[in-house]
Amino acid sequence: MVIGIVGGTGVGKSTIVQLISKATSTFVIDADKIGHVLLNKHGHAYSDVVSAFGNEILDAKGNIVRKLLGAVVFGDNYQLNKLNAIMHPKIYSEIKDILASIDFERYTCVLIDSALLYEIALDQLTDKVVGVYAPDELRTQRIMNRNTLSYEDALKRIDSQKSWDELSQRIDYTIFNDGTIENLEQQIEKMLAKLC
């Protein structure tokens, strides 16, 4: 069973993935981490991204600084679309290759963790999609704390992604991440019983 975990930045997908991994044997594919690897100096996306956005996104050693790249693309749809056109096909291809190499008999479920599951078309590689919800105010606080961003920059990140209204129409199951860990664990137990 391949389950996509989707939800905007700051909803707490990583926490959900950790709790699912604790509850059952799970293989986790993290689309964000794959994106980071692709941006490394020897990654498949490095030269395309530098060509598209210039040397001002690089540090003194020639590494892409994701915070500088983020400052260019968040809040500017043209630049964000340009980045996505480079990154999304490469992330999709990488994840497809990983799925082809997994021994599915060893795992109860395989999770694809991606805020941009639909934008990258990763839903095509899943059996079911679980959406994670948290209110925008709580998400903003989490992003500010995690990324040391201003309130405005945190909101820009939220606004650059699909709204919950759009996501909720395309998912198979919802987890609400606005309460306690115990509550989350109970929701995950029910979800696993239903989907796996």
Supply φ then ψ for residue 180, to 5 degrees.
Answer: -90, 165
Contact between residue 28 and residue 22 where contact means Cβ atoms under 8 Å apart: no
pLDDT of residue 160: 80
The domain spans of the chain are 2-195
Per-residue model confidence as pLDDT tens digits over 65-79: 999 999 999 878 899
What's the rounded Cα separation, in Å, for the pair 118 and 6?
9
For residue 144, what is the enclosing H or E element? helix 136-147
The string of DSSP codes covering 18-57 is HHHHHHS-EEEEEHHHHHHHHHSTTSTTHHHHHHHH-GGG
Q: Which pTM was predicted?
A: 0.88
Q: Which residues of the chain have pLDDT under 50?
A: none
What's the rounded Cα separation, in Å, for the pair 131 and 88?
20
**CATH number of the 2-195 domain:** 3.40.50.300
**CB atoms inside a 10 Å sphere around CB 185:** 14
The string of DSSP codes covering 57-94 is GB-TTS-B-HHHHHHHHTT-HHHHHHHHHHHHHHHHHH
Q: For residue 69, give the nearest of 23, 55, 61 by alpha carbon.
A: 55
Contact between residue 39 and residue 64 where contact means Cβ atoms under 8 Å apart: yes
Q: Output helix, strand, coil percentages for the chain, rounded to the nearest 5.
A: 55, 15, 30
Half-sphere exposure of 119 (CA within 13 A, CB side): 22
